[in-house]
Amino acid sequence: MNDVNTHKTDNTPKGIFKDSNFLWMIGGGAISMLGDQFTLIALPWLVLKMTGDTLILGIVLALISVPRALLILLGGAVVDRYSPKIVMMQTKYINTMLLGILSALIFYGKLELWMVYALALGLGISTAFSIPSGTSMLPRVVAPAQLQSANGIMLSVRQLTMFIGPVLAGLLIALFGTHEQGMINDAQGLAAAFFFDCFTYAFSAWTLSKVGMNNMTMPPGPAGHKPALLQSLTEGLRYCWNEKQLRSCFIYWAAIAFFIMGPIQIALPVMANQLSNSASALGLLAGSHGAGTLLGMALAGMKPNLRFGNLGRTILLVDFIVGILFIPMGLISASWQGAVILLSVGILGGFLHVAVFTWVQKQVPPNMIGRAMSMFMFIFMGIGPVSAAFTGWLLRGITIPQLFMGSGSLLILIVIMATQISPIVKVTDKHLAA
């Protein structure tokens, strides 16, 4: 089929809902993202039902996350070498096959632990290529004026599936669960959950085939010349480093993520346990942050031009406010107080995530989008586990109030330093100079 989008569209942000390309993409993407939540719930449950060993569970999860983090930059180079649509289609076919095999093995009682390891590794490798292809698609599908609205909608849908997906997955596993002799407990329910995700990948591959790509201008170069993958990867890293604003923003975001992700992931469960010794407290805190993130992303989609001066000043102001909110977080005495703070942090973070996500997509040349977005995602996917581990280690020697006060103070200090010595304050939504 012709892969170039030639139909006329309303290029205003609201016109995105009249764009059939975007509707095909968001429709299939929403189903696929919902299916991903089924696997995120079913896979740990499967391993625990098979072995009851948390160490083995950690190995399985590592087989997904480690290859994903290590290969995501290479995935970005592959996306730029071919096209995000081609790479995404291939990963959807691969994941359909892997999840179909896993579902069948569980259903017929043939699954062994080594097979789980192999399938987890396959999913991790595939994800390393699907993430940069997914984050590189929208600039080639929608008009530039619609990009932030499109990102806001897409990221909001992802956040929404993170709410409803685990609940639906749990209900499905319980509904079809079985305790037959010689089978894994809940085998039929687990098989159904993995089969649903298998179906969503197949369905989203079909919807993706309906999406046309915009004809984006590539920089001149030797006809038919494509550098080797490692050379392409090196070129992408060099480009991100040589662009002063891009380099400064990536370093800044890495520092900010380090002081936010660990406390959110590790300290919240500890704090919830101290507040009420109840899982409901953790649910309230995590749910409030998730709801705030969803609202912030929706706001960014509805108000794509909302800025406090320029984008750089908006980034610094939002992070400064988050730092202020973090300082009293460890001093709360009731779950509702933490919920209010985390709702506010989520709104600010969700809005900023869409804005900077869109900024990176717009700033880089078309032939660099895959590599630049893979670097952007690598920052958060690589920083997250390190921040969580460091936070866990810190909490063996300091208190929760000290952790949040220290994190908030360091956030504020980083923002002040960035204001004085970094070009971030001058970042605008305009394209970087060629």
> If one looks up domain 13-209 in CATH, what number appears?
1.20.1250.20
Task: Give the separation between CA 131 and CA 368, rounded to whole angstroms.
Answer: 15
On the CB side of 99, CA atoms within 13 Å amount to 29
Which of the two residues, 274 and 359, has the higher pLDDT score?
Answer: 359
- pLDDT for 413 equals 93
- pLDDT for 162 equals 76
pLDDT at 225 over 60: no
* 196 confidence band (pLDDT: 50, 70, 90): very high
pLDDT at 394 over 90: no
pLDDT, tens digit (0-9, with 9 covering 90-100), for 38-49? 888 888 888 888
Coil, helix or strand at residue 4: strand
Contact 195, 103 (CB under 8 A): yes
Which of the two residues, 415 and 281, has the higher pLDDT score?
Answer: 415
Q: Which CATH number fits domain 239-426: 3.40.50.11270, 1.20.1250.20, 3.40.50.150, 3.40.50.2300?
A: 1.20.1250.20
pTM: 0.71
Which of the two residues, 310 and 98, has the higher pLDDT score?
Answer: 98
Which pair of structure tokens corresponds to residue 349? 């973070």
Which of the two residues, 152 and 415, has the higher pLDDT score?
Answer: 415
What is the residue whose two structure tokens read 């896979």? 43
pLDDT averaged over every residue in the chain: 82
- pLDDT for 433 equals 39
* 1 confidence band (pLDDT: 50, 70, 90): very low
pLDDT, tens digit (0-9, with 9 covering 90-100), for 72-93? 888 888 888 888 889 999 999 9
Which pair of structure tokens corresponds to residue 138? 């929208």
CATH 1.20.1250.20 in the chain: give the residue spans. Answer: 13-209, 239-426
* 97 confidence band (pLDDT: 50, 70, 90): very high
Q: What is the 3-state secondary structure (H, E, C) of 346-415?
A: HHHHHHHHHHHHHHHHHHCCHHHHHHHHHHHHHHHHHHHHHHHHHHHHHCCCCCHHHHHHHHHHHHHHHH
> In the predicted model, what is the mean pLDDT of residues 337-366?
87
pLDDT at 115 over 90: yes
Question: H helices within 52-146, ranges in order?
Answer: 54-81, 84-107, 113-137
pLDDT, tens digit (0-9, with 9 covering 90-100), for 242-272? 888 888 888 888 888 888 877 776 777 777 7
Which of the two residues, 20 and 267, has the higher pLDDT score?
Answer: 20
Contact 257, 380 (CB under 8 A): yes
On the CB side of 426, CA atoms within 13 Å amount to 9
In 10 A of CB 308, how many CB atoms? 12
- pLDDT for 6 equals 47
* 216 confidence band (pLDDT: 50, 70, 90): low
Coil, helix or strand at residue 111: coil
Of 71, 70, 57, 187, nearest to 117 by C-alpha is 57
Which pair of structure tokens corresponds to residue 3? 């892969």
| Amino acid sitting at position 79 | V
* 131 confidence band (pLDDT: 50, 70, 90): confident
pLDDT at 16 over 60: yes
* 434 confidence band (pLDDT: 50, 70, 90): very low
Contact 160, 25 (CB under 8 A): no
- Dihedral sign, Cα of residue 329, residue 332, residue 334, residue 340: negative
Which of the two residues, 13 and 378, has the higher pLDDT score?
Answer: 378
- pLDDT for 280 equals 63
Task: Give the separation between CA 146 and CA 11, rounded to whole angstroms.
Answer: 6
Of 4, 14, 199, 241, nearest to 99 by C-alpha is 199
- pLDDT for 104 equals 94
pLDDT at 241 over 60: yes
Residues 6+ apart with CB under 8 A from 15: 9, 146
- Categorise residue 149: left if φ over 0, alpha if ψ from -120 to 50, beta otherwise: alpha
